Chains A and B, each alone.
Chain A
Amino acid sequence: MNEDLNVIRPILRVSNITKRYGDRVAVSDASFELYPGEVLAVVGESGSGKSTLLNCISARLRPDEGQVEYRTRHEGMTEVFAMSEAQRRLLARTDWGFVHQNAEEGLRMHVSAGANVGERLMALGERHYGDLRRNAIDWLSRVEVDTTRIDDLPSAFSGGMRQRLQIARNLVTKPRLIFMDEPTSGLDVSVQARLLDLLRTLTRGLSLAAIIVTHDLAVARLLAHRMIVMKGGRIVETGLTDQVLDDPQHPYTQLLVSSVLQP
């Protein structure tokens, strides 16, 4: 192929990640790259290591082997585990986001919805009450949470609303990369559709890169450009979403795809 002047460089590079729990290997030798604005789905059954992999990449868990490099805004490709704890924490609450399966883990349940959205901005030094409130209202409406509920506690919210609030809380700092662990499971189908539509709009509109762990192939089909299939802690197949779902190569992927109704 001819040289290409607008070569896109990866925003994240994961190299040979291995994570053990005692004798058990949860993730073995996982490597991949992620590009700006790209949505990558990590699929596999329970126990395949996909959540452990996500936790390692997002620096919530230290892998036993391997590297995670992230292209920071100012310093270029930087090994995440070589950063200071403070740098890593700053990264995690500004340039990255993490959406948990259970919204309760990602929200502060004893402070208002508005304060939940404002917290990351306050951590960046924003102190002006009017600006914080305006931002919170803007983001609540973008994730379709009734803005008159801004002073309510998340515990008074439904599951779907909590999940949308968690997303607003993460996106308020305009991160470039967001990690999501089964963001739609445990929600009613109609609520799921609304959330999927929202995620789709947000990732496309904001050119947000995302890694989504899901066991739901239909979610992967709808949201992801590319997929990784995991089994027993190993990546067994990768490819464009339609390649993996329509022409799966690995025996396990073939089994996975043929076992569900219309992925």
Chain B
Amino acid sequence: MTTASIHVRNLSKTFVLHNQGGAELSVLGNATVSVMPGECVVLDGASGSGKSTLLKCVYGTYRATAGEIVVATGERNVDMRAAQPQDILRLRRETIAYVSQFLRAIPRVPAIDIVAEPLLTGLQDDDDAVERARAQAQQLLLTLRIPPRLWHVPPATFSGGEQQRVNIARSFIRQQPVMLLDEPTASLDAENRTTVIAMIRKAREQGAAILGIFHDEATRNAVATRVINMAEFQ
């Protein structure tokens, strides 16, 4: 696997709510953190301390107000604040995965195809590639204890825990060098949590740079190589 690292310096995010009289909501101030390949850095801090905001700024979903975000791959350093949309899309295809606890179900698409999809960008017409991707998806669904009778059903009707595991399978099917994990194990039962912890550790050992949020202390201790308290940034 190619490797990449994350470098965040003095990052702040303030939301300006134009329809609330221009109210300013400062949700993150002066955050600095670097994550190297093979590291799993866990962000710790109270609800509302800006942990998720930080991850979303790194992924490019939120536009940072100030500071620096660089994702360094072997061949280039991408300044996420200045990058063109095409660069960010490419980085998301090839380098950065963002894993939340919520699956965005797509109408009519069965679980197995939702999981296989990241392997198939631009290859949907290649029958062999589709078969291989489905086989890999089945393996992951088995590992995550999604019963085979559900594989060909769209996940919209699945339980919260099942949807979450489909989402994890989808996020891990293509090992990305940078992983942003926003509580991927919340509300999983003990057995499945153990499985996901093993998957995260394996990704890290293979060189992924992981930045994550885990409220559950046991999970945090099981995956983290370093813990950063958000209070340090204020």
The reply to whether A243 and B86 contact each other, CB–CB distance below 8 Å, is: no
B19 near A197 (CB under 8 angstroms)?
A: no
Give A131 to B63 CA distance when docked, in angstroms: 52
Give every chain B residue within 8 A of A38 (Cβ-Cβ).
Answer: 86
Q: Is the CB of A225 within 8 A of B89?
A: yes
Q: A260 on the interface (CB 8 Å rule)? A: no
Determine the distance from Cα of A193 to Cα of B109 in the docked complex, in whole angstroms: 10
Question: Which residue of B is nearest A196, CB measured?
Answer: B107
A251 and B109 CA atoms in complex are apart in Å by 35
- Within A1-57, the residues touching B (CB, 8 Å) are 1-2, 4, 8, 35, 37-38
Shortest CB-to-CB span from A186 to chain B, Å, is: 18
Given contacts A200-B106, A247-B62, A255-B19, contact A4 B89 (CB under 8 A): no
In the complex, which residue of chain B has the Cβ closest to the Cβ of A222? B106
**Given A197-B106, A246-B61: A239 and B76 interface contact (C-beta under 8 Å):** no
Determine whether A204 belongs to the interface, using a CB cutoff of 8 Å to chain B: yes
> Are A240's CB and B88's CB within 8 A?
yes
User: Which residues from B are CB-within-8-Å of A37?
Assistant: 122
CA–CA, A131 and B106, complex, Å:
35
CA gap between A193 and B108 in the complex, in Å: 7
For B122, the closest partner residue in chain A by CB is: A207
**In the bound complex, what is the Cα–Cα distance between A4 and B89 (angstroms)?**
15
Q: How far is the CA of A238 from the CA of B99 in the complex (A)?
A: 25
Asked if B122 and A1 sit within 8 Å, CB to CB, the answer is no
Does A164 interact with chain B (Cβ within 8 Å)?
no
Select which of B19, B85, B125 is within 8 A of A251 by beta carbon: B19
Enumerate B28-76 residues with CB–CB distance to A below 8 Å. 56, 60-63, 75-76
Among A230-248, those with CB < 8 Å from B are 239-240, 242-243, 246-247
Chain A nearest CB from B68 CB (Å) reads: 14
Q: Are A240 and B108 in contact (CB under 8 A)?
A: no
Pairwise interchain contact B61-A35, C-beta atoms closer than 8 A = no
How far, in angstroms, from A225 to B63 measured CA to CA in the complex?
Answer: 16
In the complex, chain B residues whose CB is within 8 Å of the CB of A246? 56, 61-62
Output the least CB separation between B79 and chain A (Å).
Answer: 7
Partner of B79, one of A1, A8, A197, A255: A1
A-B contact pairs, 24 of them (CB 8 A): A1-B76, A1-B77, A1-B78, A2-B75, A2-B76, A193-B107, A194-B108, A197-B109, A204-B120, A205-B124, A205-B125, A207-B122, A225-B85, A226-B85, A239-B63, A239-B85, A243-B61, A243-B62, A243-B63, A247-B61, A247-B63, A251-B19, A254-B19, A255-B18
| Other A-B pairs beyond A8-B86, A239-B63, A254-B19, 4, CB < 8 Å | A197-B106, A240-B85, A249-B63, A254-B17
